[in-house]
Amino acid sequence: MSDWRGIAADGLWRNNPGLVQLLGLCPLLAVTSSVINGLGLGLATTATLVISGVTVSAVRRIVRPEIRIPVFVLVIACAVTTIELLMQAWAYELYRVLGIFVPLIVTNCAIMGRAEAFASRNPVPAAAFDGLAMGLGFTAVLVALGALRELTGQGTLLDRAELLLGPLGEGLRVEVFEGYRGFLVSVLPPGAFLGLGLLIALKNAIDARRGARPVAAPAHAHGHGAA
């Protein structure tokens, strides 16, 4: 199954971890209060997915099925610890903002899911590419949700970009609405649920419009409701 286009389409759209598999919702909902937070965690997750995918795929013939889950966990935990240490070294401020959610990437079921469903059954290059595609798909959702919440919540985009990009990000902050009052719900947890629900609805609407996926037709077009 080295159908590269299919792998890319799965990760980025058709089987997107954030919008379709609905895996890893905890970090997805918790850290997406701004674009940069979402991007930072998305990139960290992507790196974890690629590293763990490659490793799991490389050892897939030596690991006995009975102990595969503990082995996957160890591999993922090693990858996450490495990334955590790297973030502490290079992006300490962002690490502090993302807090507990960086070590918690270990428990992101999207990663375990890809290790089990894809990497343990496919050759190394395909597993690496799948990790990349899934990670980028996840990152895209994190960034989109972060943008939606940051825009409605505080009226800016790319606020505090220097956390991730260093001096390069200093001037990136965009004040979209001048003197915006701020819609506090968006930044609080309910906004994450509302925003994710709207994004999923948007994806389903796009799919339905393109006819890419048979969506159940509205079965009750008339004849119900009051009375």
Q: Which residues bind another protein (CB under 8 A)?
A: 181, 183-186, 188, 190, 194, 201, 221-227
Sequence-separated (6 or more) residues with CB below 8 Å from residue 1: 122, 126
* Residue 1 or 206 having the CB closest to another protein: 206
* Residue 214 or 225 having the CB closest to another protein: 225
How far, in whole angstroms, is CA 223 from its chain's centroid? 41
At closest approach, how far in Å is the CB of 27 from another protein?
Answer: 22
At closest approach, how far in Å is the CB of 190 from another protein?
Answer: 7
Two tokens, residue 46: 């992507």
* Residue 33 or 57 having the CB closest to another protein: 33
How far, in whole angstroms, is CA 154 from its chain's centroid? 22
* 70, 89 contact by CB (below 8 A): no
At closest approach, how far in Å is the CB of 158 from another protein?
Answer: 23
Give the residue among 49, 14, 59 at the shortest CA–CA distance from 129.
49
* Residue 17 or 153 having the CB closest to another protein: 153
Measured between its terminal Cα atoms, the distance across the chain in Å is: 54
At closest approach, how far in Å is the CB of 223 from another protein?
Answer: 7
* 166, 40 contact by CB (below 8 A): no
